[in-house]
Amino acid sequence: MRISERIQRVPPSGIRKFFELAEERDDVISLGVGEPDFSAPWAARDAAISSLERGKTSYTANRGMRALREEIARHCKARYDLDYSADEEIIVTTGVSEGIDVALRALVNPGDRIAMVDPSYVSYRPGVLLADGEPLPVRTREEEEFRLTREALARAGASEADLLILCYPNNPTGAVMREEDLEPVAEFCREHDLQVLSDEIYADLTYSGEHTSIATLDGMCDRTIVFNGFSKAYAMTGLRLGYALGPLEGIAAMNRIHQYSMLSAPTTAQHAATEALRSCEDDVEEMVGAFNRRRRFVLSRFEEMGLDCFEAKGAFYVFPEVPGDDEAFAEGLLEEQGVAVVPGSVFGEAGEGHLRVSYASGLPRLKEAMNRIEAFVR
């Protein structure tokens, strides 16, 4: 069977490789998956159950249930100072991953150069390739706490790019960017006419100060599509629900693809998400508090081991440096101690020599995993 040249350019996921290796053993503690160990808030689950009992199993509008879009608009205005029309500037997607894929296909022309933070989530580069774009990594530095800077954009040649993909709080590093960090980036985008896709799925998981969206800065709302969802802060990963907010023409273009590929996001999940936004903020705060305690614990353990690890202030990952080849280190750790982590190099060249370690697991498992990592390091 002939396979398209486009798909042949897309490498297999480096994260999945380690999941598959871990699945071959029964004694593995996985710190590789980006998934909370909590269940979705009960009120959200109850709303999903109730919707099924009432027979709410039909398609919704392509853009998502209006009640949900209204709650998203209200929530984003109150929490992040983002002001969008529920009717025209919001679309509900099957997870943020679908949203970014659809946005790339809607905005990218063949040969467009797409700047992206390096290191960053593994799906961005394949998404760009599938949209016939050309990835342009913008290397960030640990000494600058993996923040994106105007200087890094200039060094990478992003002045010639057409679009920039941001992800802060960052996966895999846990880095965050404050308003004062984003201002020079926004200025660069305005000067060089870059559109922006801003993946803010970890916005609620910020442990020092408040999250700022680049879309709130002067001149950025009309050139930015913001993505968020329910997988991380609401522990609804399996319900596959995200959303995008942006200018009318951008959201309309995304919907044109979405209506042919997905038609609409899962109906039951939309009922759960509507209730989550209405009544589950206390649950989110409780989960964020637990993540923060785990973050401090994991950072302290790596310090005790003598592994350098800058202080991650968002998401639920830390990004310690390791000696030698990071992939060999991760494979050895899995083989000898039964702990699965992800090599930093799968997230880009700037991730080489690091590991992505998730602290989304409970403290007892984290303690055992950190003991095993320390034994391997010793």
> What whole-number distance in Å separates Cα of residue 272 and Cα of residue 309?
37
Question: Same domain for 322 and 360?
Answer: yes
> Is 128 found in the same domain as 240?
yes
Whether 317 contacts 174, CB under 8 Å: yes
Quick one: pLDDT at residue 229?
98
Would you state the structure tokens that stand for residue 29, as one six-digit string?
């503690």
Distance (Å, whole) CA 290 – CA 242: 23
Tell me, yes or no, whether 127 and 172 share the same domain: yes
Distance CA 170, CA 344 (A): 13
* pLDDT band for position 6 (cuts 50, 70, 90): confident
Strands 90-93 and 242-245, bridge-based pairing: antiparallel
Residue 360 buriedness (CB in 10 A; 0-12 / 13-18 / 19+): buried
Residue with the larger pLDDT of the pair 18 and 180: 180
Please name the residue that has the structure tokens 């200087």.
151
Work out whether strand 355-358 and strand 317-318 pair parallel, antiparallel, or are unpaired.
antiparallel
The pLDDT assigned to 7 comes to 79
Closest by Cα among 333, 372, 370, 349 to 118: 349
pLDDT of residue 49: 98
Give the mean pLDDT of 289-293: 97
- Together in a domain, 34 and 177: no
The DSSP call for residue 308 is: -
Other CB atoms within 10 A of residue 285 CB? 12
Query: 289 with 319, same domain?
Result: yes
294-304: pLDDT as tens digits: 999 999 999 99
Three-state SS for 164? strand
Helices (H) then strands (E): counts for the chain: 13, 12
215 and 343 both lie in a single domain: no
Q: Is residue 328 part of a domain?
A: yes
Segments forming the whole domain that contains residue 322: 5-40+282-377
Check whether residue 23 and residue 128 sit in a common domain: no
Work out the number of other CB atoms within 10 angstroms of the CB of residue 342. Answer: 29
- Average pLDDT of 309-332? 95
Beta-carbon neighbour count of residue 362 at 10 Å?
A: 12
Residues 156 and 250 in one domain: yes
Among candidate residues 249, 279, 309, the one where a domain is terminated:
279
Q: Which has the closest alpha carbon to 269: 39, 42, 33, 51?
A: 51
Classify residue 225 by its DSSP letter. E
pTM for this model (two decimals): 0.95
Residues 301 and 219 in one domain: no
Cα 196 to Cα 162, 199, 202, 227, distances in angstroms: 9, 10, 17, 11
Does the structure show a pLDDT above 70 at 13?
no
State the sign of the Cα–Cα–Cα–Cα dihedral 6, 11, 15, 17.
positive
Query: Residue 299 domain-assigned?
Result: yes
pLDDT of residue 20: 67
* Single residue among 279, 303, 334 that ends a domain in this structure: 279
Kindly write down the DSSP assignment for every residue of 231-273, as one continuous string: SSTT--GGG--EEEE--HHHHHHHHHHHHHHTSS--HHHHHHH
**What confidence score (pLDDT) does residue 9 get?**
79
Q: What average pLDDT does range 144-171 have in this prediction?
A: 98
* Percent of the chain clearing pLDDT 90 (strictly above): 90
Asked if residue 177 has pLDDT above 80, the reply is: yes
Same domain, 286 and 275: no
Boundary-marking domain end, from 227, 260, 279: 279
| Gap between the Cα atoms of 178 and 115, Å rounded | 20
Q: 322 and 196 in one domain?
A: no
Domain total in the chain: 2
CATH code: domain of residue 250? 3.40.640.10
